[in-house]
């Protein structure tokens, strides 16, 4: 590459002109299973075999005995909280750098989200911050395997055991990720996955709760299925619940997608590690630090921090220049969850009526999360990592080009 090549942002040639791998990946296997469901006339979960097959296979893939498929990943978190016995006004510790649903599922369980800071290097919940956030009202911790890198579960579980807390793994990013040889979702008391359109395993929408605890599994199944219990009458309902069952069409797609997951996860992990090694050579670019306990990272996202001063250009200008070079890149979450209007305004609808006015999210401070949101965070999405190593080389060359031409990016290093 010409070291003096002009940035595409300023009229030069783009580094990347070919499209990256499109998502979702699908083919004849999905079509065959969908047609089987269509022609069977058994489209509901209780009438057909697809969802039951998927529940068993997906749970086993992650080292769990039980899987309860539901309509989406937010519902799966809420069901996990309800099954764990979370009561009104209990506190649940959550990270502030995650999708809204991690915290709103807590509110929908009529409990209080308490935000603990993340580690600046790993983007994951910091066990020290978790320990500091515990109060006499704390009943659970939701960890998020951010971007697909497992949280330091050993430290979190030790804290939970000391305080008799439930640990729920939000693994919406982490299909196929492995922590110290164990599939994520199997290490805590309950695990929650999402199958929304962008996820590494998708049926457009959907979710699942996994667990190795028989009693928790029975509670989740009852909540998922209108409060029914095994051996009970059809119109016999034991707990407050609703119909959260996943349909057979989604089950069909998920079974076919699951056949692809192992190979895709290996490819994402290999490409992610390769790209991280390349980008670490560029001043001011800090890929998410991989922990020694991470047996496999699922790379739903490739996270990195930009130190604008070390790089020599503002983050916004760097991201704009990379996009112009043909690299689809994002600045990630712009706000910590406690800075969302929902929490600042305590717009909780019918939930938390007794203590709502006492909650003060405006006073919450998580400095590492704020640094990442406001100044340093960025990511690349998972589908970029499903191509050959040459795709990673193109991404790295674009970063290198932007760094070489950083003097052409105006606005100062902020």
* Catalytic positions, written as ranges: 99, 170, 173, 196, 199, 228, 235, 245
Computed on alpha carbons and rounded to an integer, the radius of gyration of the chain in Å comes to 22
Place of tokens 């069977």: 40
For residues 70-82, one letter each, b for 16 or more C-beta atoms within 10 angstroms of the residue's C-beta and e for the rest, the string is bbbbbbbbbbbbb
Tokens at residue 306, please? 């930009």
Tokens at residue 17, please? 């002109």
Read off φ and ψ for residue 180, nearest 5 degrees: 45, 45
Residues 6+ apart with CB under 8 A from 83: 190, 209, 216, 219, 220, 223
3-state secondary structure of 149: coil
Tokens at residue 232, please? 């009970």
How many whole angstroms separate alpha carbon 89 and alpha carbon 91? 6
3-state secondary structure of 366: coil
How many whole angstroms separate alpha carbon 127 and alpha carbon 131? 6
How many whole angstroms separate alpha carbon 50 and alpha carbon 402? 48
How many whole angstroms separate alpha carbon 405 and alpha carbon 7? 7
How many whole angstroms separate alpha carbon 65 and alpha carbon 385? 30
Residues 6+ apart with CB under 8 A from 81: 92, 105, 106, 109, 111, 140, 168
Cα four-point dihedral sign 40, 44, 48, 49: positive
């Amino acid at each position: 590459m010409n070291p003096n090549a002009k940035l595409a942002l300023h009229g030069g040639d783009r580094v990347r002109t070919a499209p990256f791998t499109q998502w979702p990946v699908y083919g004849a296997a999905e079509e065959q299973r969908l047609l089987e469901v269509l022609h069977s006339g058994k489209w509901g979960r209780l009438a057909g075999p697809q969802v039951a097959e998927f529940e068993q296979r997906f749970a086993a893939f992650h080292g769990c005995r039980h899987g309860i498929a539901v309509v989406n990943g937010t519902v799966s978190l809420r069901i996990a909280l309800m099954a764990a016995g979370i009561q009104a006004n209990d506190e649940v510790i959550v990270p502030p750098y995650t999708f809204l649903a991690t915290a709103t599922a807590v509110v929908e369980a009529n409990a209080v989200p308490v935000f603990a800071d993340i580690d600046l290097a790993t983007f994951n919940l910091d066990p020290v911050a978790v320990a500091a956030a515990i109060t006499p009202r704390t009943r659970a911790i939701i960890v998020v395997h951010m971007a697909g890198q497992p949280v330091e579960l050993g430290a979190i579980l030790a804290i939970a055991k000391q305080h008799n807390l439930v640990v729920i793994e939000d693994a919406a990013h982490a299909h196929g990720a492995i922590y110290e040889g164990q599939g994520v979702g199997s290490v805590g008391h309950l695990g929650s996955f999402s199958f929304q359109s962008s996820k590494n395993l998708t049926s457009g929408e959907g979710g699942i709760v996994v667990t190795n605890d028989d009693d928790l599994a029975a509670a989740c199944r009852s909540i998922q299925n209108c409060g029914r219990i095994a051996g009970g009458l059809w119109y016999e309902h034991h707990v407050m619940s609703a119909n959260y069952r996943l349909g057979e069409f989604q089950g069909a797609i998920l079974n076919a997608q699951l056949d692809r997951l192992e190979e895709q996860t290996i490819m994402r992990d290999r490409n992610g590690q390769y790209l991280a090694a390349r980008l670490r050579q560029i001043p001011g670019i800090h890929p998410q630090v991989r922990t020694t306990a991470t047996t496999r990272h699922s790379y739903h996202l490739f996270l990195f921090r930009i130190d604008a001063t070390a790089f020599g250009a503002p983050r916004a200008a760097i991201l704009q220049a990379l996009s112009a070079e043909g690299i689809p890149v994002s600045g990630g979450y712009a706000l910590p969850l406690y800075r969302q209007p929902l929490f600042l305004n305590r717009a909780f609808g019918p939930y938390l009526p007794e203590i709502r006015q006492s909650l003060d999210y405006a006073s919450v401070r998580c400095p590492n999360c704020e640094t990442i949101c406001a100044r340093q965070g960025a990511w690349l999405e998972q589908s970029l990592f499903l191509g050959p190593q040459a795709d990673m080389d193109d991404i790295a060359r674009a970063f290198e080009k932007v760094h070489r031409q950083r003097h052409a990016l105006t606005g100062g290093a902020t």
